[in-house]
């Protein structure tokens, strides 16, 4: 009996105000005089914030072009027809001509958009090797099984980078040209391709393997590129700070999207004479058409967009705040009506 009491006491919490839950507490009494003003104030705050977000989003200018090539008009349809049923499709080029009647206020961001592309598919989203992408030599030679069927090449070599995400890397390219005077020559607009990836992705998650004799190509020796790639990963860019696993376009693509229609940043226009935006005039976008989307019923678009204090164009966020604010005020009025009605009944009962 003594041993039982001792054992039971050893498992009991200390006799303190915290462990015995004797701390002073305050529990608000949600009376009508407290709850109703909270609903109305929250509703007004949400509506005010929603109006600000909605009008800021509407103030963002966008210019988009669907260059999938589904229609017979436009020279991109020739590229789409040439690549139909061929993997990978043959190299092809097309162009988009447009004019700006006034200044397109900067800074201007250039995006590409894909539709009906489910990067959130679980089998697709786990088809990668984060250890390999972090530059570990052992993972470079032995990709994880989640990368299958893009784990090993037909010759038995490890694929770097492995997985379905890397194999489906977006590989269209664009260049922008400006005709300053009618009938004059086109001048290339500088596109800033640096800093388009998330800071944590570029500086933390993605690293190249250690150089071998100062060569990145030797570091990847004994590996094979993904089947859909035309060149190995260490030749993605001539810039040594933008090639291999730390290539900005590759890092941007590897951050998978949550929805089947998504945009990814391609470049910024903020250098030279275009730091204030795109001046009025005629423009041409040269498109290197490589990426096939017709097989899965998708579309690809090119988008020029400005930004505001809230970021890019997103009317849904403002609408969501407006809806929530309206529901709060509506709920407040319903509660007010119920309160007045039952208060009158209580007064009649007391009389």
Q: Are 335 and 32 spatial neighbours (Cβ–Cβ below 8 Å)?
A: yes
Q: Are 91 and 291 spatial neighbours (Cβ–Cβ below 8 Å)?
A: no
Q: pLDDT at residue 263 above 80?
A: yes
Contacts of 301 (CB under 8 A, 6+ apart): 64, 65, 66, 67, 68, 112, 113, 114, 115
Q: Residue 294: what pLDDT?
A: 86
Q: What distances in angstroms separate CA 189 from CA 75, 116, 125, 267, 283, one per listed residue? A: 22, 31, 35, 11, 9
Compute the half-sphere exposure of residue 44: CA atoms within 13 Å on the CB side of its CA.
Answer: 6
Q: Which long-range contacts (CB under 8 A, 24 or more apart) does 18-21 make?
A: none
**Short-list 308, 201, 298, 217, CA closest to 253:** 201
Percent of the chain with pLDDT over 90: 64
Q: Are 294 and 68 spatial neighbours (Cβ–Cβ below 8 Å)?
A: yes
CA 81, chain centre distance (Å): 30
Residue 180 backbone class (left: φ over 0; alpha: ψ -120 to 50; beta: rest): alpha
pLDDT tens per residue across span 66-113: 999 876 555 788 888 876 766 667 788 999 999 999 999 888 999 999
Q: What distances in angstroms separate CA 14 from CA 6, 88, 112, one per listed residue? A: 14, 70, 62
d(CA 69, CA 82): 11
Among 25-34, 291-300, 307-316, name the most confident range.
Answer: 291-300
Q: pLDDT at residue 5 above 60?
A: no
């Amino acid at each position: 009996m003594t041993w039982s009491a001792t054992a039971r006491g050893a498992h009991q919490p200390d006799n303190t105000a915290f462990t015995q839950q004797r701390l002073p507490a305050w529990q608000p009494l949600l009376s009508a005089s407290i709850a109703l003003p909270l609903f109305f104030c929250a509703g007004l705050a949400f509506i005010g914030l929603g109006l600000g977000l909605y009008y800021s989003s509407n103030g963002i200018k966008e210019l988009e072009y669907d260059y999938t090539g589904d229609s017979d008009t436009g020279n991109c349809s020739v590229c789409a027809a040439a690549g139909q049923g061929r993997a990978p499709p043959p190299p092809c080029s097309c162009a988009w001509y447009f004019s700006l009647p006034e200044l397109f206020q900067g800074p201007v961001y250039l995006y590409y958009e894909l539709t009906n592309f489910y990067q959130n598919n679980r089998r697709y989203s786990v088809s990668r090797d984060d250890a390999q992408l972090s530059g570990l030599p052992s993972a470079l030679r032995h990709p994880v099984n989640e990368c299958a069927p893009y784990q090993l090449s037909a010759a038995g070599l490890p694929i770097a980078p492995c997985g379905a995400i890397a194999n489906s890397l977006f590989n269209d390219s664009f260049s922008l040209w400006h005709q300053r005077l009618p009938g004059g020559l086109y001048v290339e607009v500088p596109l800033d391709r640096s800093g388009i990836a998330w800071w944590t992705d570029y500086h933390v998650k993605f690293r190249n393997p250690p150089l071998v004799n100062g060569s990145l190509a030797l570091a990847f020796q004994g590996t094979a590129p993904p089947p859909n790639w035309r060149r190995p990963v260490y030749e993605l860019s001539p810039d040594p700070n933008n090639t291999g696993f730390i290539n900005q376009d590759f890092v941007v693509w590897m951050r998978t999207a949550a929805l089947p229609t998504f945009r990814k940043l391609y470049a910024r226009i903020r250098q030279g004479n275009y730091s204030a935006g795109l001046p009025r005039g005629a423009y041409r976008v040269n498109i290197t058409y490589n990426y096939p989307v017709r097989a899965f019923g998708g579309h690809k678009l090119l988008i020029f967009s400005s930004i505001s204090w809230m970021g890019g164009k997103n009317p849904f966020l403002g609408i969501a705040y407006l809806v929530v604010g309206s529901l709060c005020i509506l709920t407040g009025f319903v509660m007010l009506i119920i309160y007045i009605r039952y208060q009158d009944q209580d007064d009649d009962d007391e009389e």
